[in-house]
Structure 1
């Protein structure tokens, strides 16, 4: 029967797909995870889109990311989910709908660290990537502007900042080695906006 493994690097980490039989924390090499994708349907609206993460090939990101303060990041931690073969078609339909706002599917290798050494844990896992030619891709934004957009945006799936906070917590819990400089910096700034607003209230 058909096997299907999908790598989650955004909301799939804290809201996994159905019918998972195994899950493997790991990371990608040569990519960045950035809040570079507009969200019109989950964490924002068509009139006021929020921001959600996408994967970008590091060499592509370097071409138009002048405002990115973390130019050396090229590791993305997440979870590879292997789906019960009986339900592959159902889960692929579910994911295609969930990731419909500008994402396309690619295959890539997922790495893990064993005994201090990097090794390929899964070959050719599927992953939804927001390429820079899709209409929802917004590219690199200054952290202050990006954090303000995330802080104030709300969509059918809830506040944009909730997405950010849950993702940051989930990435921290993946491994003693997991990290994401961009994600944690955004989390800090949005929490500062929360605190400032509470003080005004």
Structure 2
């Protein structure tokens, strides 16, 4: 079987090399949340930023007291099938890129057929997930605090908010009609911070 990896975060707007084909689709039973610290890309060990991870919906309910969002939110992303001739190289590249607390899991990717029916379009696709027992998992944070952390953090790969805005744009292009309440609620707050408006409508210090 060829190596196929599902991108739901930075892999959407910065795909892996040597992609032979790609399929746009969504996951069931998961939520996408900024619940993972970034010590190496969008933050530093002293001041980690925040990046997304996938979490089983039932599992997230244990952490979601401060940011409960509708159950109809959908995790859209892209399943990339890698050229078999470069599989070893790409696996090593991805393992390094996702080294800060991420683990490979298998997921089924869903799509919608010409009759409007949902169906699995890719079985057993690999996906890098930051499980809740990894050292970089931070769980649920108050939304205003999380937005400010993303807005202010900077790492070797650039500003944390650059990662965020790239992801928002990529998700909208993938499926303009999709629901991602967590992502869009954060966008409202981070854009307000860009305009110099802080929590509660006051000016950012």
- TM surpasses 0.5: yes
For structure 1, the 5+ residue unaligned runs are: none
What secondary structure, in the 3-state scheme, does the structure 1 residue paired with 2:40 have? coil
What secondary structure, in the 3-state scheme, does the structure 1 residue paired with 2:64 have? coil
Instruction: Provide the residue aligned with 2:200 in structure 1.
Output: none
What pairs up with 1:81-96 in 2 under 5 angstroms?
A: 81-96=80-95
Instruction: Provide the residue aligned with 1:184 in structure 2.
Output: 184
Are the counterparts in 1 of residues 74 and 178 from structure 2 also a CA contact under 8 Å? no
Instruction: Provide the residue aligned with 1:40 in structure 2.
Output: 39
Aligned length: 199
Deviation at 1:13, TM superposition (A): 0.1
Root mean square deviation of aligned Cα: 1.6
Alpha-carbon distance change, 167 to 86 in structure 1, aligned in 2, over 3 angstroms: same
Instruction: Provide the residue aligned with 2:97 in structure 1.
Output: 98
What secondary structure, in the 3-state scheme, does the structure 1 residue paired with 2:196 have? helix
What pairs up with 1:32-181 in 2 under 5 angstroms?
A: 32-73=31-72, 75-114=74-113, 115-181=115-181
Are the counterparts in 2 of residues 29 and 74 from structure 1 also a CA contact under 8 Å? no
1:100-120: per-residue Cα shift (whole Å, max 9, x none)? 000000001000112321110
Are the counterparts in 2 of residues 28 and 75 from structure 1 also a CA contact under 8 Å? yes
Are the counterparts in 1 of residues 31 and 75 from structure 2 also a CA contact under 8 Å? yes
CA distance in 2, matches of 1:20, 1:85: 10
Runs of 4+ in 1 over 2 A off after TM superposition: 175-179
For structure 2, the 5+ residue unaligned runs are: 198-202
Deviation at 1:196, TM superposition (A): 1.3
Normalised TM-score (structure 2)? 0.93
CA distance in 1, matches of 2:19, 2:191: 33
Are the counterparts in 2 of residues 14 and 170 from structure 1 also a CA contact under 8 Å? yes
What secondary structure, in the 3-state scheme, does the structure 2 residue paired with 1:7 have? strand
1:65-116: per-residue Cα shift (whole Å, max 9, x none)? 2111305245211000000011111100000000000000000100011232
Deviation at 1:177, TM superposition (A): 3.5
Are the counterparts in 1 of residues 73 and 178 from structure 2 also a CA contact under 8 Å? no
